Amino acid sequence: GAVVSQHPSWVICKSGTSVKIECRSLDFQATTMFWYRQFPKQSLMLMATSNEGSKATYEQGVEKDKFLINHASLTLSTLTVTSAHPEDSSFYICSARPSTAANYGYTFGSGTRLTVV
């Protein structure tokens, strides 16, 4: 149980275009999901907290107009990288957990490797 599916697993796009990444909770409902970014050989940095039915909460230094987050249902959150540039190339990972407190421990998606050329 507690499976998070992330799509696509990798994407290459041209500079200036937008890319959408999907994060789905397959067997549970997730009112809250988290989006992380990971640079090569570095740790995960939290970008934003995605809340179902309301605006996302962004971490300091993350451009909300560039990284658009939509959490329209209890099982789907999307991250759209708008007007992508080469410096946006990174590994993006989402996470979520069921609301059951006894199962505390976030499940992560398999990640999306974004390359902007």
Partner 1 sequence: AQSVTQLDSQVPVFEEAPVELRCNYSSSVSVYLFWYVQYPNQGLQLLLKYLSGSTLVKGINGFEAEFNKSQTSFHLRKPSVHISDTAEYFCAVSLTGGYQKVTFGTGTKLQVIP
Contact residues toward partner 1 (CB under 8 A) are: 4, 6, 31-32, 34, 42-44, 46, 49, 91, 93, 95, 97, 104-111, 113
| Rounded distance between C-alpha atoms, residue 88 and residue 78, angstroms | 16
Q: How far is the CB of 16 from partner 1 (least distance, A)?
A: 26
Minimum CB separation of residue 38 from partner 1 in Å reads 9
Q: Which of 35, 64, 69, 34 is nearest to 54 (CA)?
A: 69
Q: What angle do CA 37, 51, 38 make, to 5 degrees?
A: 5
In this complex, which beta carbon is closest to partner 1, that of residue 31 or of residue 82? 31
